Amino acid sequence: MRVFVTVSAVVALGLGVWGCGGSSYGIGNSGNPTTPTPSAPGVVTINVVAVNGAQSFSPNPATLPAGQMVVWHNVDSITHHVVLNDRSVDTGDLAPGTSSQPMAIAAVGGQYHCSIHPVMVGSVNQDTSNTPAPCQGAYCD
């Protein structure tokens, strides 16, 4: 049974539905990484830490490779609800200890906030260092 559960957890993580079972993961779970390292290949986790202005999210601002998938993980003790200001991303309600589905961030990135606590603000920015610089000068018509 344990093997089956573990395999299921890995699959769930790969699919980004980790948060569905998150209610059993309490604050006291010392095994949970709290650093903003990728939780799975191609997925970056942004922690929701508190109702604290621009310090509500970590890392913030987050600079991401093009096409990066993002998961918001609520490490706070109350429910939050992350939405990009342009409404292109909406995590739904994130209960304490749960994560959002992987969210694709638009090429330009953007600012986001918590719809429950509007003082919580953050931003994600695409790392454009790999993309060609826009053409500038007399030959760019």
**Cα–Cα dist 65/42, whole Å:** 10
**Cα–Cα dist 87/48, whole Å:** 18
116 is a site residue for Cu ion (CB under 5 A): yes
Cβ proximity to Cu ion, 73 vs 80, nearer residue = 80
- Minimum Å gap between C-beta 72 and Cu ion is 10
Cβ proximity to Cu ion, 8 vs 23, nearer residue = 23
- What's the start-to-end Cα distance of the chain, in Å? 64
- Please work out the total of residues on this chain that contact Cu ion, with binding judged by CB under 5 A: 5
50 is a site residue for Cu ion (CB under 5 A): no
- Minimum Å gap between C-beta 130 and Cu ion is 33
**Cα–Cα dist 26/85, whole Å:** 30
C-beta of residue 91 within 8 angstroms of C-beta of residue 84: no
What's the length of the chain? 141
Q: Which two tokens stand for residue 8?
A: 């299921």
Q: Which of 18, 43, 60, 80 binds Cu ion (CB under 5 A)?
A: 80
Cβ proximity to Cu ion, 12 vs 50, nearer residue = 50
117 is a site residue for Cu ion (CB under 5 A): yes
Q: Which spans of this chain sit near Cu ion (rule: CB under 5 A)?
A: 80, 114, 116-117, 120
